[in-house]
Structure 1
Amino acid sequence: MGLEQDEQQALAPIDGAAMLARVEGWCAINSGTRNLPGLARQAQALADAFAALPGAVTLVDPAPVRMIDAAGREVAQAHGQHLLVRVRPDAARRVLLTGHMDTVYPADHPFQFARWLDADTLNAPGAADMKGGLAVMLEALLALEATPAAPRLGYDVLINADEETGSLASAALIAQLASGRVAALTYEPATAPDGTLAHARGGSGNYSVVATGRSAHAGRNPQDGRNAVLALADLALQLKWLAGPELSVNPAKIEGGSANNVVPDHAVLRFNIRPQTTGAAERFAVDFARIVAGVAAEHEVQLHPHGGITRPPKPVDARAQRLFDLVQRAGADLGQHFGWRPSGGVCDGNNIAAAGVPVVDTMGVRGGAIHSPDEYMIVPSLAERAGLSALVLHRLASGELP
């Protein structure tokens, strides 16, 4: 392994058993995005753990978020507080590390407990996505702080409480913290159990369209009604026809209607798009406006769109590729050999890249089956990936990335 003596010093403090204990404790806290009491407990547990770093630990209130409810009304959506740690904010070289404390498992979900699948594999809610990643991040930073290189690198840690629902309550904070950073690391799990990193990512947008028609009796005078459900069904079909190699469209839900003998005068369509490029996102915006206008005229209803792109597409430019190469070289020097591949998923790495900062966003543990009751973490990857991050951070502190 091609490690300098001070780099070997950076790896010495890594404690896999301590990391596992943290993960097991954190996974025992339900922190589904909508479980605000659970998120508060998780945030405090993380604040206690990250207080071991030599910086200010604060809990930041979420930005206001509004959503469209089933009645078509715009209402406030509550979120948990975000954890922010700032270490050496005046340093000339600064990086951003991000993660999330929320999971996709609500408080009433049956998947609440951990179990061992074998001696190396832990099945637990959030173990891979991404409480294991948070343990990796913390351990790597603690290892960095034990080296003479630490004073040369400043960093901010942001652990948000709403990543699983699009980071709407933290997107502005992410953009603010990313500004001017040399690089960023995000601790989503590897895309495969072999440690493969996500490379380029497509984008994502969530939309709601509220339709207002006119009710009527379905038998006596249906011609006087204007069917909101039918209008949105037509809209969903037309949107689906926009899909192609650079854009997927997923009409996910239509809410509305009442009794079978009433022409429905209200409905809400919810759908998601996944543009692979900025150009595809821009073309969709034009096509969407055209289709909405056409359906509204055809069905004589009012259509009110809400939402938009929440995760811009994340291409990998030359600066970002240099960071990928740095991470891969560090892995090879540790005997870890992995590549990368494009991903259809999105995360806070999309937002960081949109701020013009190179980012590798799958620095977390090896595991799989995320977002399901089969989610698992490969336990030896805790120490393995902590070592990788510690070495990458040490090399960033030493100026390896221009």
Structure 2
Amino acid sequence: MKEDVFAYIDDHKAQMMDLWQDLVNQDSPASYREGVDLVAKRVFKELEEAGASTRWDEEGKALIAEIPGDSRAPVLLLGHMDTVFPVGEAARRPFTVEGSRVTGPGALDMKGGVAVMLSALKALHSAGFSGRPLKVILVSDEEIAHNGSKATVMLQREARGCAACFNCETGYEDNSLVIGRKGGVVFKAAVHGIAAHAGNNPRQGRSAIWEMAKKIDDIQNMTDWDKGITFNVGTIKGGTVSNAIPDYCEVEGDIRFQDPDISPFVKEELFKVLNHTYMEGMKTELLLYHEGMLPMKMTEENRKLFEFVKKTGEENGIPVSEGKLVGGGSDSGYVVYAGVPTVCAMGVKGRFNHTRDEYALKDSLFERAKLLGAVILKMNEV
């Protein structure tokens, strides 16, 4: 059957590229419901052709599909249909193939990964795959950390009890896969001071920028490299003119950590810094504290599943180098938290996610579709 799966992929490269192109050329930021719906409509069609029954989960804003099988636990395939790019980006930078590279908004993250997943499933269906059931979850708001939906609850509910999960997120050119990811928090804080003329009555003022500068130093110094915790203040704004004591300063920051159980500690430490006052009369308020992606914990089960994937790749001449920890988040964290072994970054390989320099390697579409197909076939044997 594996030979039939690989032959299908070899014989349908043009169709796979067309699918990739259609997905990339449809704008689908999470806020653009019409665009996301059009992507979902195309994905529905492909999944039905792969023998799946599909449904839309409105609470989680996600497409869920199931391919029935025997009584064993299903294999879960995971991904997202949204991108970080605004409406109009596909018209400005459409899907383009130049030599070995494919460019266009979301070509790498992760329209290419969706094409990998759908192509592998269609190849398996064409080859007559049966046995272990398969489940697909494709969310529509991953890039905004599911702010506004109940996808995080849905993901854990739907994943629970699955035998394994393969997330077709962005792949890496060094042939590595991901078995651990940091989680993140986005925060925004403001200091309110007392305005005054810098020349006439500076002693009556209280500089919000000065107070915030001290807090920024404290926040940055909470970084603990050994524990994998990083704090970063990324933006700052405040003041009006150079000869006035500023009465307002605002910052935005990012916190990353590896262990989901450490989240309460991180929040507590940030609050301690913000609540400490250096100058009398100052007031600090937390404007936003949004817990983004849950960390993908590096479990022993993840390591074993990676070794399973690596061995499968070796048996089929498909390079897989290492299983690693990365700083960027994904929905794999929620699946691992639900107790499901997971390997992430099974999608097309490339670089520069979330930027206009983003590109994917064309041939990795076919390579990764074969790897995913081979892994599912081998999972069916155990």
Given the alignment, which residue of 49, 53, 69 partners 1:52?
49
Amino acid at match of 1:236: I
Q: Give the drift of 1:172.
A: 1.9
Match of 1:160 in 2: 139
Match of 1:386 in 2: 369
Given the alignment, which residue of 285, 301, 309 partners 2:283?
301
Q: Give the drift of 1:389.
A: 0.6
* 1:201 maps to 2:196: no
Whether the 8 Å contact between 1:93 and 1:397 is mirrored in structure 2 is no
* 1:236 maps to 2:204: no
What is the root-mean-square deviation of aligned Cα atoms in Å? 2.8
Within-5 A mapping of 1:175-324: 175-191=156-172, 193-213=173-193, 227-245=207-225, 246-258=228-240, 265-278=247-260, 281-295=263-277, 300-304=282-286, 306-324=288-306
Structure-2 change in CA distance of 1:30 and 1:208 (3 Å): same
Q: Give the drift of 1:362.
A: 0.9
Distance of 2:44 and 2:205 partners within structure 1: 57
TM-score (norm 2): 0.86
Whether the 8 Å contact between 1:368 and 1:376 is mirrored in structure 2 is yes
Whether the 8 Å contact between 1:201 and 1:344 is mirrored in structure 2 is yes
Structure-2 change in CA distance of 1:288 and 1:242 (3 Å): same
Could you tell me the percent identity over the aligned residues?
A: 26
Whether the 8 Å contact between 1:98 and 1:157 is mirrored in structure 2 is yes
For structure 2, the 5+ residue unaligned runs are none
Whether the 8 Å contact between 1:10 and 1:394 is mirrored in structure 2 is no
Whether the 8 Å contact between 1:232 and 1:254 is mirrored in structure 2 is no
Given the alignment, which residue of 70, 75, 84 partners 1:104?
84
Q: Give the drift of 1:241.
A: 0.9
Whether the 8 Å contact between 1:226 and 1:264 is mirrored in structure 2 is yes
Within-5 A mapping of 1:13-52: 13-14=8-9, 15-52=12-49
Aligned length: 374
Q: Which of 106-115 and 313-322 deviates more?
A: 106-115
Amino acid at match of 2:165: A
Within-5 A mapping of 1:327-338: 327-338=309-320
Q: Which of 173-182 and 197-206 deviates more?
A: 197-206
Distance of 2:56 and 2:314 partners within structure 1: 37
Q: Give the drift of 1:301.
A: 0.3
Q: Give the drift of 1:313.
A: 3.0
Structure-2 change in CA distance of 1:235 and 1:22 (3 Å): same
For structure 1, the 5+ residue unaligned runs are 1-5, 64-80
Superposed CA offset, 1:259-301 (max 9, x none): 6666555554211011234566454333212212213875530
Distance of 1:47 and 1:334 partners within structure 2: 30
Whether the 8 Å contact between 1:114 and 1:125 is mirrored in structure 2 is yes
TM-score (norm 1): 0.82
Distance of 1:369 and 1:310 partners within structure 2: 21
